[in-house]
Each structure stands twice: as C-alpha cells, then as structure tokens.
Structure 1
C-alpha cells in the first residue's frame, strides 16, 4: 500500500515533468565505462532499492531498473505488477572486473536482500518481487551457485533465491530510473516504512548491507 500511494504521487508528478528533466536524469546516470566492463543481472525485490544498493558496491559502474524472466517482450510496469507476464523486477548491473569479481558481486548482492523470503521482499509481496540471480554464462552460473551455497550455510539452509538461466532484460520506464537518488525523502520514507534495513539486520546480522 505504501508503495502504491508513492507510485501514484510519482505518476502525477511525472505528468508535469518536461523532456529536459528526463534527459538531465539520463545524463546524470551516464558514467565512463571501463573497456572491460561486464554485465550481471539480479532480481532483488523493489528495483528502486536494488538499484540503489547495488550502485553503492565499489566496482559497480551502473545499475538500470527493469524486468527479466518473463514471457512478454517489452513489458510496462503496470503490466508486470498486475501479474501474468512472469517478470521479476530486476537490475542490469555494469561492473568493473578489475575492481570486483562476479563472485564477490553476487556475495555483496545477497547481503542487500532477504534470500530466505520466497514471497517477495519486505512490504512488497507477490511474484514480481521475488529474488533471483540470472547467470549470463556458464562461469557466472558456477560462481553464483558457489555464492548461494555459501549463503545457505551461513543462513542454515534457509536460502530460496535461485540461480536462473540468462533471460532478456527490459529497462523500466524513465521515472523509475535512479528513483532513490532523485527522490531521497520519498524513498527514505518508503525504505523505513517497508522495514528493509531492520529485516536485513535480522537475517544477516553484522554482514547486512544496510544504508
């Protein structure tokens, strides 16, 4: 309910936004990419949070909010949240392998989510908010499986986050991109109201990636 009210307010605000505002936001997201940049694809519940938390990991160049794992090409946000497309909210991550390996990135990502929750994340419930790691090649699959197995040992066999096969990624609408950075007060209220950091501390203790 919290997120639905915030989304309604955001949609009203974006109707008054100009094309220049959208262009400025997109320009601010662009950062120089190393020549050897690589890509990862994660589903971590609400992509507002996933994008924010993954971009805070040293070595990550950019995260883009969107959808993956479904049956419909180029889905819109409202299609996905209504259900039936099979997509998860996801983030496409560009990272510098000279600064962080894929295995390290997966381990850090797992500590930004509750990998023991099969029904969504925090206050966001339903299939589109389930977590997953999409392995884009055999090496990623091996490293992701190793990271999940390690997390499962730490969390005493309770991990349900799957390692899934590669899937097409579709970027979400512009108003979802960099939501936390562009709307810090609103996002802060959402994050506190959703109880994300409190739950992360319950699950991961000192290893939790809270903000």
Structure 2
C-alpha cells in the first residue's frame, strides 16, 4: 500500500472524487504542513497553526497509480489560485501536492509541467509540490462529510462544481 496527500481547498470536497476510485483503501480528511501538533479544526481555521486542510489517501498501487491520483487531483482544483480554492480563502486552503518519496515528487513535477504546457489555463499553474509532513486526522464529524451531510456538502461545493465543469470537462 502507498500513501498520497493532497490539499485543494476544503477537505470536504476532496474526499468523494478519490473515494470512488477502485484501489483506494481509505481517504481521511486532516491537517498538515503546520507547526502545531494535533491541531483542532478551530485552531486551523484561526490561521495561526500554519496547517493546510488536506486528504490522506491510502491506495493499492497495483490497482491505481500515484500518477492516476495526481490527474484526479488536478480535476478537483483551480491550479491557478495560490490563495485558496473557490469560496475557501487563505493559506489553510492552498493547493498542494505533498510527496512521500522522490518518485512521487518527480511524477507531480512532470504532471504540473505538462498541465502548464497544455494551455488549458491562461494563468500559471501555482499549485506547490512539497515534501509530506506529519498528517493529523480531522475530527470524526469531518470524515466522509459528503455522506453525513449531503445538503450542506452540496451548498459548500457549488462554486467548485461550476468551475470544474467549465474547466475540466
């Protein structure tokens, strides 16, 4: 099994697209890349911990590759917006591909370069590629939020869905 960590705005919206793929064993919402151990949601929202909302994915590389996951990731984000994603603003919502080893780093960098060269976007691709840091799972009420609170999830992801439809389909 392998591990991947992606940040692309509110973690509620990042779970379902990965969880629906064959070969995914788990997708957990959480926090990473900050300076506070075991932060709470309230602490992360205060923008004082340095953490970014992210998802940690455990996957079977025989069924789905890291490269596949990176392609799924791009199609969930606005890779031209470094200051958050959609209605979620600030460093705690910045887009990041966190790599767990040199192979993942190389795959992410090549994919980012290919996306930039594709001309799909008029602006530069600003998603960062950074080494994985400790990942702290979010509180249980955040896990699988799209299933637990479908109406609230639908409301929170409306702007994202319009952008994705216009730019990735």
Among 16, 22, 25, the alignment partner of 1:52 is 16
Unpaired runs of 5+ residues, structure 2, are none
1:58 & 1:122 partners in 2: Cα distance? 28
CA contact (8 A) 2:17 2:72 kept: no
Confirm or deny that 1:41 pairs with 2:5. yes
CA distance in 1 between partners of 2:31 and 2:47 (Å): 13
Gaps of at least 5 residues in structure 1 are: 1-36, 207-211
| Counterparts of 2:42 and 2:117, CA distance in 1 | 37
1:173 has 2:139 as partner: yes
Q: Distance in 2 between matches of 1:198 and 1:164?
A: 28
Report how far residue 100 of structure 1 moved: 1.2
Pair 1:148–1:57, CA change in 2 (3 A): farther
Alignment partner, residue 149 of structure 2? 183
Aligned-residue Cα RMSD (Å) equals 1.3
Aligned to 2:66: 102
Q: Match for residue 57 of structure 2?
A: 93
| Structure in which a larger fraction of residues adopt helix | 1
| TM score, norm. by length of structure 1 | 0.75
Kindly indicate which of the two structures has a greater share of residues assigned to strand: 2
CA distance in 2, matches of 1:190, 1:46: 9
Question: 2:149 aligned with 1:202, yes or no?
Answer: no
Give the 4+ runs in structure 1 shifted more than 3 A. none
Give 1 or 2 for the bigger CA radius of gyration: 1
Q: Which residue of 2 aligns with 1:137?
A: 101
Q: Pick 1 or 2: higher relative contact order, CA cutoff 8 A, min separation 6.
A: 2
Determine the structure 2 residue equivalent to 1:62: 26
Which of 39, 56, 60 is equivalent to 1:75?
A: 39
- Name 1:26's counterpart in structure 2: none
Q: Distance in 1 between matches of 2:167 and 2:32?
A: 26
Q: Secondary structure at the match of 1:134?
A: strand
**Count of aligned positions:** 167
